[in-house]
Chains A and B, each alone.
Chain A
Amino acid sequence: MVLVVNLSYAASDNSVGLIRLSNMVQSFSVLSYQGIFVRSQGVEMNSMKILHDVIDGSEYESLVDLDGDKIEVIRIDDSVICVYPDISFANTAEPVTAPLRQFKELNGERLLEGYTFELSEKAEVIAGRNAHKLSLIPKDSYRFGHEFWLDSENDFLLKHDTLNLKGEVIDRVQFTDITFAPKLTKADFVPRLGTYSRHIVEVKPEMTDNKWRFDWLPDGFAPVWRDARVLNGKTAMLLLSDGITSISVFVEPTQVETDYSVMEMGSTTVGEVSRALQTDILRLTIVGEVPEDTVEKMLMSFLPRTAS
């Protein structure tokens, strides 16, 4: 009887959690807000200012790095402008190349394969607003846990912790100040005087057939793109996601076989191996916010697709 009750609670948390997470995703593009958040990873900490509004039917968004070189990204619908402190910096900095549109639908089925949802009933105060914690507890050791603090009124994300397998925080994003409906105008999304702006033209990425497959993937992970993206004319990139976490796979030809090597930086793991696959030697590199075991196991289960 107790088991049945617990299961019903779990099912309820999963359902409510998915709804609130879906609301969170929607809130980024629907709400009008202005705030400052801090991102910390290890001993590194960055503060960012974010503005968002829908004005005359267009979506305006701005993200400013308040530390270091104060790079700003402004998005107006699908147009992206990178703003640098001066032209010399702009000439040396790597431009942002990704379109900033987000997926607006959450794949709940995929998420529930990898995580159990737990919603805290106790309200906490984050950036002066009441929030409830939604925990995504991993069902296996192949992914990290996540804790989202969602605004009690509108489900906006006020704080996000990524937890390692020991439950330790390895990456944190937290608003320190947030205002909703701040009455922004188009003038708030204009590059500052004295800065140098560059309009990012989205180039349609070159795609190629995905010639590879994984013999094993963590539950819930699936390709984001049907095909592979071509980088520098020779490297193929695949992107996988479980809805919250993503893993990139880079494949390129090389001359020699090398052993598996790995590097961990905060929540990001990079693993690499070069080995003969059919007639070619390929260097496989995996980058993702997943534990090292996941990267190693994926590298070892990477295979070419066989002709059907």
Chain B
Amino acid sequence: MNKSKETLHDENVAQCVSDFVDDRLSSEDLDFLLSQENEKWETTLKSYAATQQALNSAEPMTDFSQFDLLSRVREGIDGIEPDLLPDETETSPSNIVDLSERKAAFTESNARHLDALSDSENSRKSNVISVKMFAMAASVAFVALLAGQLFLSQGNDFNGEGLPVIAVANLDQTDSILDDPQDIQALSLDVNNDRLQSYLRQHAEQSAMATNQGMISMARVVSFSTEQDEQ
């Protein structure tokens, strides 16, 4: 049975909210998310944010009910100093969000996104890139990093000034591996190497039996195909 356009739209927004909380929202999807009505999606965003914080932080829980998260992101983008942005940009892959194009593209994105809804299941996979175990090419460009967790982690004293730009960087043309920065200590090995992928999989499968955690330890193996596919 075909899903209605409204259902597809809602599913797409829900996925965007999830990706935003996971810090892997693409530039286009952020545009799309920001164009949605606050009231309808704030509750979803807050519940996802609370779950993410509970899973990944030992800090006391932030009371997300006290502030408007989507408005906070909008304020953050509006508060970027123009001097920080580059004159030209060539790429904005994955969670690297090109902020210089943000405002100009804002009004066009919603219509474009709706047109693309019918292909959303396929296109999402190519847009959203796993930040774990992934190497990507980057053109020479200044980019600003914008992360959902940053907005979610600030307390009620958020004022929208200067916060959204985590880093303004000049990327060179060499391949770089994106990962959670705290996870990367050394990157001499290329994880995209087929041989290493095979070894990682063999290890995940065989060690699942040796770690005494039942089928739960197989979670790594089951999700492994998805991770490989995203690459």
Contacts and interface: CB of A to CB of B under 8 A. Distances in A.
A197 to B, nearest CB: 15
Contacts of B182: 42
A280 interface: no
B183 A266 contact: yes
Contact of B213 (A65, A157, A262, A265): A157
A300 interface: no
Contacts of B200: 268, 270, 287
B80 interface: no
Contacts of A272: 189
B133 A98 contact: no
A116 interface: no
Nearest to B224: A94
Given A69-B226, A261-B189, A265-B191, A40 B56 contact: yes
A52 B211 CA distance: 19
A287 B203 contact: yes
A63 B132 contact: no
A63 B216 CA distance: 8
Contact of B209 (A102, A173, A245): A102
A248 B214 contact: no
B219 A63 contact: yes
Contact of B180 (A43, A94, A98): A43
Contacts of B229: 68-69, 92-93
B191 A44 contact: no
A209 interface: no
A48 B221 CA distance: 12
Contacts of B111: none
A37 B214 contact: no
Given A102-B214, A262-B185, A46 B199 contact: no
B55 interface: yes
Chain B interface size range: 35 or more
Contacts of A78: none
Contacts of B131: 42-44
B212 interface: yes
B221 A29 contact: no
A31 to B, nearest CB: 10
Interface in B8-38: 22-24
B196 A285 contact: yes
A263 B219 contact: no
A289 B211 CA distance: 11
Contacts of B228: 93-94
A104 B27 CA distance: 48
B130 interface: yes
Interface in B107-151: 130-133
Interface string B170-214: 000000000110111111110100001011111101111111111
B215 interface: yes
B58 interface: yes
7 contacts: A67-B226, A98-B221, A103-B210, A172-B56, A231-B202, A239-B210, A263-B188
Interface of B: 22-24, 52, 55-56, 58, 130-133, 179-180, 182-189, 191, 196, 198-203, 205-216, 218-226, 228-229
Q: Nearest 3 A-B pairs (CB), nearest first?
A: A28-B214, A261-B188, A98-B205
